[in-house]
Chains A and B, each alone.
Chain A
């Protein structure tokens, strides 16, 4: 059974061990893309978060069979033109990273969050960032630098395009 999908902008076809093999396992073990992590395997840590047709989902709970014909984006595809996103830049400037295992999932969750909030014209607040991160576990940082970097990125984005006040 071949499963064909678009991965970070490129078409791929894989022969997964079983149709219920998780997308996370296929990414890591078949495609050797280890940016997507697999820490808890039951949807409670968010480290495997990827975008499926643009929406953040848990790759550990996504059977590969349901990915056929769809588009997957991973942390490895976050900078297709070779430039860091504002969010990556803000994380680096805040020195937010520690062990780093949670960051791929954090970035995928927060990238979509910032996009959705900007599209909806909603202000990004510390509380809304924290709520969006419910389900992304970080064991090192205590989250504060991650939250602040996300606010920085939202602020930078809002500053570059006229829009609602992004930082409260």
Chain B
């Protein structure tokens, strides 16, 4: 009998065409008669929009339509519906779309977009959160009170788009204890551009009263809903299909450009393609947000954390977007990982006159973990504790209570730290060239965004199966590796005999998108459920044929056998033929959702995620050498112990870890986004936006931790999102160790490291945020 495909490093089925240049991503697709779109964008950060005259554009050769806010009446958002498709009366950020042109050629569209007459009256812009929160600051959304709340519970006021708070235990009493040391820190972290090689791109058609949009997205059902909402049409009138996606990393979890293509397709009756240029992606991508953090802890001499409190500001840019959701996750990451006596946290998404931010792999977790682990090292220094020993004693374990009152199951982080001690033994020694040497260790807590998923499995006459979901292959391999492995295991066939249908919202049931590490867990569980139903029906028919009880049957290697009677067997296609003769084709549906754990009463307000249905943990450690003359950091060795529950495809997981760590090194060390005085992102391309190259990367040493509790299929947890979580933390702790001065900002560019060494750069003052009862 063949081994189960679970735990097997099955190869990718999409590699051959990707290695021949034959895979056609959305950016590679088009249609005869297709029109091209160019956007007219704002060139100021804040202004009243007095007049938009599209007539000069419409008069130009090749132009078919120009649309503005009047053509897309709805407002959309995640927590709050605050975002129009096109600027409506006011410009809130540089690069904001004012109008869109569809023309025969891209050049004609660009020329027409430039010909649109826009009259503005500039307003003072808030380019920083400090400016937006200053007393009396102009409200970026004066109508914020009238916005529809899509999710209830967030506190909102003025330039605070959303506030989530968490409180457990008596924080003030703990800070007042005489036996505690109080350790405080401030941190400021920058934006990170997802920089997928494929930009955002969509091709829309309007036929028979319905929109069909082929797009590069991670979340087809969200695009369907967003188009319906913004255009004021029924979601049933929108169909989304998704070719292979050329990288997403979170940005494509949210609909952004698709409604523009859709409205122009309806207006023109022609296929319409909108593809953003790299410069547009650099200046308007839904980046990982910049953030400001003040944190303090009351710690006893023997390492008990009596209380921790923090205030975190997330810059959501001009619109609330994902950050209204992410405020919840600040609680679970910044206040996670350690046993805490009492907890108080305020997490605010703040409007500024900058491009809206969004989701990026492990989102706010990256900087919360950076701040938490730098703070943890400060605690160790304050009480004279060893950094490893302190963590081993202080991390949460079985029965410990999380920040919102949930009780964690299983000892996971402590054995992972022990495993890290083993990995450390084989590290290379310090360099003997005058550079400063340091080591950093970081623990981290993240979660699997379980959420609802549907799957259908059909068993075909040839004995193979078809898996139908709204999941998309964004490069992580879940759709082409883990999911067919899970279905194949149930049906006793090879993973290669499971056809995986491309996402099509007309064919597949609801799914909450490929992101949040949820694909293998949620789509995996739904797929397993669907396959189980098929398996049950298959065995019933086989029992009929073989004159045996279903429970006596074995299903493997493409055939059904009777246990103990090897001669009694039928191939799956024979059983399918039998089914066709007596009852019809075999199919099954599966569905899954997370258990939806709630916070303990009174512990959390404004949280879209009150407790972690499925926590996932990681331990990272690295050694660095810092050039004291230039501030250049070399990562000498990088080690990861990751909680994977159960590894469905160990090699694919290792590849996710390698890739996530290198992306994290970019975030930690050189990917930098800054704004000019007009509120425009200064890094307009990859000449100045410093992505990690092959010569910046190193082989990551990896150990997978299996056996932690999980609701996922076979006990699996998502493995693709968490690898980036701890990287800036581990590197920041290592640099701090090396230079003996605190790193408090991201990214830790050579400029910033040298400034810290020279004493030019101090921790951020953040006078506009306090941890206590103040603002």
Contact = CB atoms under 8 A, between A and B. Distances in A.
Q: Do chains A and B touch in the complex (CB under 8 A)?
A: yes
B197 interface: yes
Interface stretch (A40-48, A63-71, A116-124, A156-164): A40-48
Nearest to B662: A142
A97 B693 contact: no
B700 to A, nearest CB: 7
B768 interface: no
B655 A141 contact: yes
A34 B12 contact: no
B475 A36 contact: no
Nearest to A146: B694
B651 A95 contact: yes
Contacts of B691: 137, 139
A146 B655 CA distance: 11
Given A92-B11, A98-B476, A98-B477, A39 B197 contact: yes
B246 interface: yes
Nearest to A18: B107
B660 interface: yes
B483 to A, nearest CB: 16
A139 B249 contact: yes
Contacts of A33: 21
A134 interface: yes
A102 B685 CA distance: 17
The prevalent SS among residues of B at the interface is: loop
A93 B10 CA distance: 10
A103 B474 contact: no
Size range of the chain B interface in the assembly: 35 or more
A146 B699 CA distance: 11
A39 B659 contact: no
Interface string A77-101: 0110000100010011101111111
A107 interface: yes
A95 B686 contact: no
Given A36-B21, A100-B14, A145-B655, A139 B694 contact: no
A99 B12 contact: no
B304 interface: no
A96 to B, nearest CB: 8
Given A41-B278, A99-B197, A142-B663, A79 B686 contact: no
B510 interface: no
B247 interface: yes
Given A35-B21, A102-B197, A143 B247 contact: no
B24 interface: yes
B695 A131 contact: yes
23 contacts: A17-B107, A35-B20, A37-B246, A39-B197, A40-B278, A40-B686, A42-B685, A42-B686, A44-B687, A45-B197, A76-B22, A92-B19, A95-B9, A100-B19, A100-B23, A100-B244, A129-B694, A133-B693, A134-B695, A137-B686, A139-B197, A141-B658, A142-B661
Given A98-B477, A99-B196, 15 more contacts: A28-B28, A35-B20, A35-B21, A92-B16, A97-B19, A98-B475, A99-B474, A100-B246, A101-B197, A136-B693, A137-B686, A139-B247, A142-B655, A142-B700, A145-B658
List 4 A-B pairs, minimum CB-CB distance, nearest first. A35-B21, A99-B475, A100-B18, A142-B662
